[in-house]
């Protein structure tokens, strides 16, 4: 018998599936083996590879917090063959999980700082556990500013949680969409423009951003204009990934592998090698 094969996923069961937006589902997943379940510990920012057997495997940020209940949560947008298959799963169906992989947001290093969280579309997924952990340890941090954009009001992924976020102490939530509707009372603007308008101060602050490449690109420009240094800007990258183990050699940004050295990077670490969108 050979060695343990790191490509073989843990078997898991789909426990819940909630529609967050017309194309995003929140999947609740529970590992079947109790020992595996007990040892599956992770931090905000880490990801796992989910398998829809027969269709394939793709990486997803884990949007729940470790040790909160039994399950893992993933916000999955229906966009390709694997996500399509994951959306089609029914409760009780088997899927595969490998992980947790990658690094995480070093939230303990940010204690005492002002936190600026900027997310667009499904890019809010890896930021949700960051926000929830900050809220859980609210006294450890100074002001929390969340800027969340989406294409339309229906596409705001974590809308059910906005109330909790808004009501938290010293927390501000700014919402924006590309196209509003008749019920929409908030901004209709692009995320980078909102960042410019809200103009968070770089003093004692950390900005964490995730979203579509084009949004990240312009948000970084605005943050720099506001005086944020490369080591104050943190982003989490999405990349095509086949192994999660630093072997298949495709998710690199310059000399960093997103799956091993990332997905969380300071701009300082990767600015030389970022491809222009």
Partner 1 sequence: MNLFISRDELIRWLDQLLRERILAAPVQVQGLTLFQPISKVEEVTLDFGNTTLSPKEWFLPPTETLFSMQGNDGHPQLVPSTIEKDAVIFGLRPCDAKGIALMDGPFLREPGDALYQERRARTSLIGLSCRQVQPECFCTSVGSAPNDSSHVDILLTEIENGYIVQVITEKGKALLPEGLTESKEELPAPPELQAVPTKEVTQAVREFFDNPYWEQLADRCLHCNICAYVCPTCYCFDVRDYPNKGNPERVRSWDSCQSTGFTRIAGGYDPRAAKGARLRQRFSHKLLYFPEEFQDIACVGCGRCVKSCPVNIDIREVMSDLQQLEAKSGS
Q: Does 111 bind partner 1 (CB under 8 A)?
A: no
Q: Does 249 bind partner 1 (CB under 8 A)?
A: yes
CA-CA-CA-CA torsion for 110, 111, 115, 121, nearest 10 degrees?
60
Q: Does 79 bind partner 1 (CB under 8 A)?
A: yes
Segment 167 to 196, residues that bind partner 1, using CB under 8 A: none
Query: Site for partner 1 (CB under 8 A): which residue of 200, 238, 259, 264?
Result: 238
Query: Site for partner 1 (CB under 8 A): which residue of 3, 22, 67, 169?
Result: 3
What are the respective helix, strand and coil percentages of the chain, to the nearest 5?
30, 30, 40
Phi, psi (degrees; rounded to nearest 5) at 28:
-100, 125
**31, 37 contact by CB (below 8 A):** yes
Query: Site for partner 1 (CB under 8 A): which residue of 191, 210, 234, 243?
Result: 243
Nearer to partner 1, 154 or 252 (CB): 252
Nearer to partner 1, 156 or 216 (CB): 216
Query: Site for partner 1 (CB under 8 A): which residue of 152, 189, 212, 217?
Result: 212
Cross-strand pairs, 61: 47
Angle CA 194–215–227, to nearest 5: 60
What is the nearest approach in angstroms of partner 1 to the Cβ of residue 62? 18
Nearest to 67 by CA among 97, 39, 98: 39
Choose the binding region for partner 1 from 135-143, 181-189, 224-232, 233-241 (rule: CB under 8 A).
233-241
What is the nearest approach in angstroms of partner 1 to the Cβ of residue 230? 17
What is the nearest approach in angstroms of partner 1 to the Cβ of residue 241? 9
- Positive or negative, the CA dihedral 265, 267, 271, 275 is positive
Q: Does 82 bind partner 1 (CB under 8 A)?
A: yes
Q: How far is the C-alpha of 55 from the C-alpha of 43, rounded, in Å?
A: 28
């Amino acid at each position: 018998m050979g060695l343990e094969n790191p490509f073989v996923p843990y078997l898991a069961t789909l426990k819940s599936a909630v529609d967050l937006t017309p194309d995003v589902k929140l999947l609740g997943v529970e590992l079947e083996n109790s020992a595996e379940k007990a040892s599956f510990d992770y931090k905000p920012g880490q990801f796992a590879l989910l398998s829809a057997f027969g269709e394939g495997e793709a990486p997803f940020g884990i949007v729940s917090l470790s040790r909160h209940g039994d399950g893992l949560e993933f916000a999955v947008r229906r966009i390709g063959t694997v996500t399509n298959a994951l959306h089609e799963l029914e409760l009780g169906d088997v899927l595969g999980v490998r992980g947790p992989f990658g690094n995480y947001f070093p939230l303990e290093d940010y204690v005492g700082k002002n936190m600026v969280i900027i997310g667009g579309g499904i890019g809010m997924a890896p930021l949700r556990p960051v926000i929830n952990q900050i809220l859980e340890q609210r006294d450890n941090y100074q002001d929390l500013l969340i800027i969340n954009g989406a294409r339309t009001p229906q596409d705001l992924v974590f809308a059910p949680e906005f109330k909790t976020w808004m009501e938290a102490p010293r927390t501000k939530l700014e919402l924006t969409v590309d196209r509003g509707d008749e019920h929409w009372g908030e901004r209709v603007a692009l995320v980078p423009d909102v960042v410019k308008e809200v103009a968070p101060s770089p003093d004692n602050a950390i900005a964490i951003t995730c979203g579509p490449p084009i949004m990240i690109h312009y948000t970084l420009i605005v943050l720099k204009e506001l005086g944020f240094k490369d080591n104050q800007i943190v982003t989490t990258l999405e990349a095509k990934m086949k192994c999660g183990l630093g072997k298949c050699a495709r998710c690199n940004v310059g000399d960093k592998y997103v799956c091993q050295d990332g997905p969380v990077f300071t701009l300082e670490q990767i600015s030389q090698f970022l491809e222009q969108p």
